[in-house]
Amino acid sequence: MTKIKPVQDSTQFNRSPLSLLLQAGLLYLVLLAAHGYIFGHQDLIEIQGYLNFLEDPTCYANDFYLQNITARVPNERWMFVEFLHFFNISTPWSFLISHFIVSMFLMTGMLKTAQELVRDEFFAFLAVFATVIVFYKINLGGNELYYNTLSSSLVAKSIGIWSFYFFLKKAPTTAVLLLIPATLIHPIAGVQLFLICSGIIVVTLIKTGVSSDKLRLYWSIPVYLLTAGLWLFFLEKQFSGGSLGNEGFFEIIRFRLAHHFIPSAFGLKNYIILLPIFLFAWNHFRKQNDTLFWFFNFAILGLVVYTLGVEVLHGSVFLSTQWFKTTIWLKFFSMIAISTGVADLLKKHFPTLKKSLFFLFALALGALTTYLYWKIPQRHPSSFDMPWRGDYNDEIAIAQLAKRLTPRDALFITPTYYTHLKYYGKRSTYVDYKAMVHHKSVLQEWYRRVKEIYQFREDQNSTQRLSGTPLRLPASPEGIERLKSLGITHMITDAPLTGYAKLLGQRGKYYLYEIDPGLKN
């Protein structure tokens, strides 16, 4: 399948397993310093509350998200949460250790894949470094290979990178079998790789001719279809239930998840930076590697079809593929293509420059990492959630105060961006902006509740809604009656309130209120 293999560099470093682990470990330390580490909040609101519920089903008796998602099995979180629950991964230390293991699995897979293609260990390292550090947050659809939290996406992609490594090594059986657990854990991440790799296999069979012996090599494909494929079928059936129509579904996705699903919302800057890089890599692999050339072809074809389907046809079937997530792989492979080009250029024209470049990079990396760790308190005031730090910020402290001062069946509303209550406070919320049940039968009610409580302006996008939408208790008996009629008993706000609310406590800028129990219905 490969046309031309890069020439082995006689100056490359020793490719021992220890060297691979040391490089991956170094990358992990830099990643922690650069991006922080998240535990107990943000996107984990959908995972860790679920875990708490599995451990104690009496928790969250009135919680909209957890009551609805646990009533619909299978659901998009079920497999990953059950995996964590089975291995008792729920505490701060177990999450951190698991994040380290999964991240090391991802980094070693990325390094091995880069080394297979670049054939120079230093420039292979640079390709991975550029992907997860330099070009981090330059993306189409808010997707990255690495995340600073233990998520289903991170786990699936750590398996997916090894799947593609074996695919490059012409071991399709191993590659496809690895995509089964990847798809079970994160359906979109796994099935996208399966579809692209299957397309490459079909192209290869067309080029080389089909025979029964060749077809027998791909017995893992029907195995995938009978396992992960059935899982996808059941998820789709579960998701499609309900009366929400195509137009309403589109409105909700555009309202909450446009930055993940709607190509016109991905930012012009990202397109300007990434599209030329993708084009360069496509041309590079057209000459160098058939497998990656066709990977780009199928991925880009999917991007074109997805864009037309979403932006022109407004079809929900296109949205469900979230095809722009494939650009995480295109970005990584593009960094490999650029690293290969630079390595070949230096070898040809400046053969003595590589060692100097290596030492300069090592010095710069050491200085950068030291600076990033020194600045952690300023750069990550609430996103460096190491187990030994305890209640290191007001967000955690107010959640634990709520747990201590309110009954277990209390029902809260909180600011849109505040996501600590679910894990640290173990209390129910009337609705969470960050926690969605991806089922059409629930989305409409979630949308109604969010608009009812937060009353967003029409011109706000999702980022603006999360940047600080204040909660203001209605300054009238009628307003309080409305909240009480919804069953809401408590609030966490980021500003003091005047009106019919009893202040229970304060931590920094956060206030814990009880809706005045003396006001009768």
**Ordered per-residue pLDDT tens for the chain, 521 residues:** 445 444 344 344 456 889 999 999 999 999 999 999 999 999 999 999 999 999 998 899 999 999 999 998 888 899 999 999 999 999 999 999 999 999 999 999 999 999 999 988 999 999 999 999 999 999 999 999 999 999 999 999 999 999 999 999 999 999 999 999 999 999 999 999 999 999 999 999 998 887 777 788 889 999 999 999 999 998 888 777 777 888 888 989 999 899 999 999 999 999 999 999 999 999 999 999 999 999 999 999 999 999 999 999 988 889 989 999 999 999 999 999 999 999 888 887 777 777 788 888 888 888 888 888 888 888 888 889 999 988 889 999 999 999 999 999 999 999 989 999 999 999 999 999 999 998 888 999 999 999 888 877 666 666 666 665 555 555 566 777 788 889 999 999 988 877 678 899 999 999 999 987 665 54
320 lies in the same domain as 423 = no
Question: Is position 66 within any domain?
Answer: no
What is the greatest pairwise CA distance in the chain?
84
Out of 320, 352, 377, a domain closes at 377
Quote the domain boundaries for residue 487: 394-515
What percentage of the chain's residues is helix, strand, coil (to nearest 5)?
65, 5, 30
Question: Is position 283 within any domain?
Answer: yes
Which two three-digit tokens encode residue 18? 């220890």
- Per-residue burial over 211-246, b if 16 or more Cβ lie within 10 Å, else e, is eeeeeeebebbeebbeebbebbeebeebbeeeebee
Which two three-digit tokens encode residue 496? 């003091």
| CA–CA separation, 89 and 284 (whole Å) | 43
Which two three-digit tokens encode residue 24? 């991956």
327 lies in the same domain as 400 = no
> Tokens 């025979």 appear where?
211
pLDDT of the residue at 484: 86
Our count of domains for the chain comes to 2
365 lies in the same domain as 411 = no
CB 156 within 8 A of CB 100: no
Type and span of the H or E element at 501? strand 501-507
pLDDT of the residue at 519: 54
pLDDT of the residue at 351: 74
Question: Is position 10 within any domain?
Answer: no
Q: Dihedral, CA atoms, 248, 251, 256, 257, nearest 10 degrees? A: 100
96 lies in the same domain as 199 = yes
371 lies in the same domain as 459 = no
pLDDT of the residue at 468: 57
Residues 6+ apart with CB under 8 A from 105: 158, 159, 162
Question: Is position 9 within any domain?
Answer: no
Out of 321, 343, 377, a domain closes at 377
pLDDT of the residue at 172: 93
Burial class (CB in 10 A: 0-12, 13-18, 19+), 384: buried
> Pairing between strand 428-429 and 501-507?
unpaired
> Tokens 């996107």 appear where?
43
pLDDT of the residue at 9: 45
> Pairing between strand 411-413 and 501-507?
unpaired
369 lies in the same domain as 463 = no
Which two three-digit tokens encode residue 406? 């309110």
Collapsing DSSP to helix, strand or coil, 313 comes out as coil
427 lies in the same domain as 337 = no
Q: Comparing C-alpha atoms, which of 397, 422, 432, 418 is closest to residue 467?
A: 418
According to DSSP, residue 455 is labeled -
Collapsing DSSP to helix, strand or coil, 515 comes out as strand
Question: Is position 309 within any domain?
Answer: yes
Omega before residue 74 within 30° of 0, cis: yes
pLDDT of the residue at 521: 45
430 lies in the same domain as 459 = yes
| CA–CA separation, 412 and 382 (whole Å) | 22
pLDDT of the residue at 11: 41
pLDDT of the residue at 477: 66
Omega before residue 92 within 30° of 0, cis: no
CB 66 within 8 A of CB 432: no
Type and span of the H or E element at 485? helix 477-485
> Tokens 């991440």 appear where?
189
Question: Is position 48 within any domain?
Answer: no
344 lies in the same domain as 438 = no
Question: Is position 65 within any domain?
Answer: no
Question: Is position 1 within any domain?
Answer: no
472 lies in the same domain as 342 = no
236 lies in the same domain as 320 = yes
pLDDT of the residue at 469: 56
pLDDT of the residue at 470: 57
309 lies in the same domain as 366 = yes
